[in-house]
Amino acid sequence: MTDRSTVAETRTRERARSPKAARASSARGVGGIKSINKAVAIVREIHAASRPLRISELSKLLDLSPSVVSRIVSTLMKGGMLDHDEETNRIQLGLGLAVLGHSALGRRKLDLIAIPVMAKLSEDFKEYISLSRLVEGRVAMVRGGPVEVMHQHTFLTAVVPVHASAPGKLLAAWLQEERLVELLELRGMDAYTPTTITSVRQFKDELRKIRKERFALDDEELVPGFRHVAAPIFDENGNVVAALSAGGPKAKLNAEEIEKLRGALTNAGIQISRQMGYPTAAPRP
């Protein structure tokens, strides 16, 4: 009789505690979801603004207290999702978002077509081959290397500036004037080496040359002693949607080797573009 009473009492206590425990657990879950929603809203507001924003601006836009915004921004910065511009004291999208977003693109049609071609090129030239797109005003690159270097056809991601890289210049060459100006104002034209183009006028001259030749060269403009070559990939509508590129030490990539690489990248770009649905071999000038 005592055992039955004990069991009954235990069950009664469990039932009494269950609603409270459930409510507490539910509250924690809802609180977590709300924080995630706020974090997503902050990222979206910065993206929509197309410029860095202050904590106070985000607070007003989202109707959240500055302390809440600051706390969430701090967490996102630790994860590389946001960056803090020390000079302007503003918050901007971080490279972590660009890298993650670009990694997700690997399931798209272009990537599925391009990756086998890149693997073949990397084996032929024993160099890294990159597939690049513009993401948030920077160049997001998927890089694949030869087996001798990477032990397998693993593909890595990197982010580089538009004005100082071969794929960046190539992709910029087909941008509308208004978007190009916005991009340069947003990201600036910092000098990475003595040969980096930092003049808007000179940069536009370079882009006209690239459109004409359908080829871009980074001649130690990003990294001293390093050259990079890029060719376009375009879709069924004639839009340049990506750049195929490769590079190496200047001592190895002399004028003759650059021409060989240029020809191989151009042909590979044509091959990929045709599979993308583009009927001819040349993008729109």
Same-domain pairing of 144 and 179: yes
Boundary-marking domain end, from 93, 122, 148: 93
Q: Which two tokens stand for residue 167?
A: 């794929």
Round to whole Å and give the CA distance between 164 and 278: 29
Boundary-marking domain end, from 58, 77, 93: 93
Partners of 244 in beta bridges: 131, 231
- Residue in the structure block whose two tokens are 């599979």: 275
Boundary-marking domain end, from 36, 67, 93: 93
Q: Is 104 exposed, middle or buried (0-12, 13-18, 19+ CB in 10 A)?
A: exposed
Q: What is the pLDDT of residues 224-265, one digit of tens each?
A: 999 999 999 998 888 999 999 999 899 999 999 999 999 999
Window from 10-14, 106-110, 132-136, 205-209 with minimum mean pLDDT? 10-14
* pLDDT score of 32: 57
Question: Is the pLDDT reported for residue 206 higher than 80?
Answer: yes
285, part of any domain: no
Window from 4-13, 105-114, 252-261 with minimum mean pLDDT? 4-13
* pLDDT score of 210: 97
Q: What angle do CA 225, 138, 135 make, to 5 degrees?
A: 140
Domain at 189, CATH number: 3.30.450.40
Return all residues near 188 (Cβ < 8 A) that are at least 6 apart. Answer: none
Q: Which two tokens stand for residue 103?
A: 């990694």
Domain at 18, CATH number: 1.10.10.10
State how many domains the chain has: 2
45, part of any domain: yes
Q: Is 95 left (phi over 0), alpha (psi -120 to 50) or beta?
A: alpha
